[in-house]
Amino acid sequence: MDLESPTAAEGRETLLIVDDDEINRAILENVFSPSYDILEAGDGLEGLRAIMSAPERLCAVLLDVVMPELDGLSVLRRLHESGLTLTLPVFLITAEASDSVLREAYGLGVMDVISKPVVPYVVRRRVQSVIELFQARRRLSSTVESQHARLLEQARQIIELNVGMVEALAAAIEFRSEESGGHVRRIHDITRFLLERTPFGSGLTPEAIEEISLASMLHDVGKIAVPDAILNKPGRLTPEEFAVMKTHTVQGAALLARIPQLRRGGLRYAEDIARHHHERWDGRGYPDGLRGDEISVWAQAVSLADVYDALSCKRVYKDAFPRERVLEMIKNGECGAFNPRLLECFFSAEEELSHMYKKEVMA
Amino acid sequence: MNAERRTRLEEAGIDVGEALERMLGSEALLERLLGKFPADPNFAALGEALAEGDAQRAVAAAHTLKGVCANLSMTGLHSLFTRQVEALRGGDMSAAAQLMEQIAPAMAAVTAAIGDGDGER
């Protein structure tokens, strides 16, 4: 084999000659053997078998038309049916090519029709050009494929990094609040559950629910701006202290607004959630006193998730309440006023949510 | 291939220059392929098919011989077989059979010229 062969590197270096005439095969073999490995078949059936057994090793097929067993056009038809003519260039070598034969052959995807007796430098140039074209196509498409895979991998890494940063930021706030840990993770899970598994999230795409759940972890990011003495004070806050505490909503939204990348990075909901997760359905919440449907679906969901989790766990200012009491307090509006439809969805699904607190409540 | 042999082949109706071009200048390949020509079973098959009136078999044999002659640049024989194939495809068996009167001596001449070289190869 010629080491200079342009196909050697790809493993496609075999040229198949299908012709019942030994002399034709010998002449073509003589033309192409310096550049390619040569495989010969003496009739159409043998040729078809040689192709089908391992089409990927072939760089081209030279096909006679008039042959016993299976003629060249029949071979071509089979190759066309199996889609092979798209990746394997086929040349018809014929002494008499009628219009109808040419028309059918080109319709079946033949790359070129070369007349017999062949003129060596013509057939060599024509066949090599097409082989090189197919090689270039294969190289290009494999390059595009690997670039595409690389881009997907990079996108995945960016999303992972994004989630990691959000979790790290949320965990930092949580540690500062000296909370039991896992709060933001549970808010994420509860929010996702309410939107994904109950009718409250109908109308939201899976991608939106994904983004909202991630954004929910940043709902208390504004607590960074609240002094330790207030944040970690056991027992009730004075009205002045409570006023400072309430600013975590506006502070959080202002902080997130300063990171424009968040909007593009799938956290477009974070600012709204940070600002409005203490609004109430009856309009008596803060900071904006929004009422009813003025509060976004995602802010409502995070708001309920936050209350439910706070009641179910021990905090610096309180113990964990038993499940029955938690549900009672939410039902009676002791911890906020919620959309009746949201409550209906929540109570229908709460059984499953309660499992995540089993250990903590018993502890 | 010496000049004498070349002349002998050309006198028998073989365009040696053209044939060698097709073999990319390989005299060895040309001699090998010429050496197979006298033993080509298609000529005998053609004679039988014409005698039996088997047009299909006759056209297949004539067609193959036409191709062989083209490849080996046997110009006289090639044009005779071309006419014969046309006659057979046109359904004119008697014209095809009549052409054998010209084909047979041309075949004999070519075969003889090729055979002369046996000792050299």
Give the mean pLDDT of B91-99. Answer: 91
A297 within 8 A of A204, measured Cβ to Cβ: yes
CB-based contact, A141 to chain B, within 8 Å: no
Residue A362 pLDDT? 42
> Min CA distance, A24 vs chain B (Å)?
7
Residue A29 touches chain B, beta carbons under 8 Å: no
For chain A, say whether B33 makes contact (Cβ under 8 Å). Answer: yes
A163 or B113, higher pLDDT: B113
Residue type for position A40: E
- Identify the segments of chain A with pLDDT beneath 70: 1-12, 178-181, 264-266, 316-317, 358-363
Tokens, residue A175: 């540690």
Query: How much is the pLDDT for A9?
Result: 46
> From A32, which residue of chain B is nearest by alpha-carbon distance?
B24
Asked if the Cβ–Cβ distance from A23 to B36 is below 8 Å, we say yes
Say if residues A275 and A288 touch (Cβ distance below 8 Å).
yes
Closest CA to A309 of A212, A168, A174, A214: A174
Chain A residues inside the 8 Å CB shell of B66: 95
DSSP β-bridge partners for residue A17: A40, A62
Beta strands in A65-163 (DSSP E): 90-94, 112-115
Residue of chain B minimizing CA distance to A27: B23
Q: What single-letter amino acid sits at A72?
A: G
Give chain B's mean pLDDT. Answer: 89
* Domains of chain A in sequence order: 8-147 (3.40.50.2300), 177-362 (1.10.3210.10)
pLDDT at residue A159, as a whole number: 78
Is residue B121 one of the residues assigned to a domain? no
Using pLDDT thresholds of 50, 70 and 90, give the confidence band for residue B40. confident
pLDDT bucket at B28, cuts 50 / 70 / 90: very high
Nearest CA in chain B to A120: B22
Q: Coil, strand, or helix at residue A319?
A: coil
β-bridge partners, A61: A16, A90
CB contact under 8 A, A118 and B22: yes
Task: For residue B68, give how far its alpha carbon lies from the nearest alpha carbon of chain A (Å).
Answer: 7
- The stretch B33-58 carries a mean pLDDT of 91
Domain of residue B55, residue span: 3-116
Q: In Å, how far is B97's CA from the nearest CA of chain A?
A: 22
pLDDT at A3: 43
CA distance A94 to A303: 80
Q: Which helix (H) or strand (E) holds A359?
A: helix A358-362
The pLDDT assigned to A12 comes to 64
B56 assigned to some structural domain: yes
Closest-CA distance, A151 to chain B, in angstroms, reads 50
**Which residues of chain A are within 8 Å of residue B72 when distances are taken between CB atoms?**
23
Characterise A213 by phi-psi region: left (phi > 0), alpha (psi -120 to 50), beta (else).
Answer: alpha
ipTM of this predicted complex?
A: 0.84
How far apart CA B99 and CA B65 sit, in angstroms, is: 14
DSSP single-letter state for residue B92:
-
Is residue A25 less than 8 Å (CB to CB) from chain B?
A: no
Phi/psi of residue A68, each to 5°? -75, 170
Q: A with B: how many residue pairs have Cβ under 8 Å apart?
A: 47
Name the residue among B33, B66, B73 with its Cβ closest to that of A26: B33
Check CB contact under 8 Å for A120 and B24: yes
A117 touches chain B (CB under 8 A): yes
Q: What is the CATH number of the domain that holds B56?
A: 1.20.120
> Looking at residue A28, what is its pLDDT?
94
Q: Answer yes or no: is pLDDT of B117 > 70.
A: no
Residues of B in contact with A118 (CB under 8 A): 22
Q: Is B66 an interface residue toward A (CB < 8 Å)? A: yes
Shortest CB distance from A21 goes to which of B32, B64, B73? B64
Q: How far apart are CA A274 and CA B8, in angstroms?
A: 103
**CA of A120 vs chain B CAs: smallest distance (Å):** 6
Tell me how crowded residue A206 is: count the other CB atoms within 10 A of its CB: 10
- Residue B68 is classified by DSSP as H
Burial A1-38 (b: 16+ CB within 10 A, else e): eeeeeebeeeebbbbbbbbbbebbbbbbbbbbeebbbb
Q: How far is A84 from chain B (nearest CA, A)?
A: 29
Q: Does A33 touch chain B (CB under 8 A)?
A: no
d(CA A339, CA B105): 109
Number of domains in chain B: 1
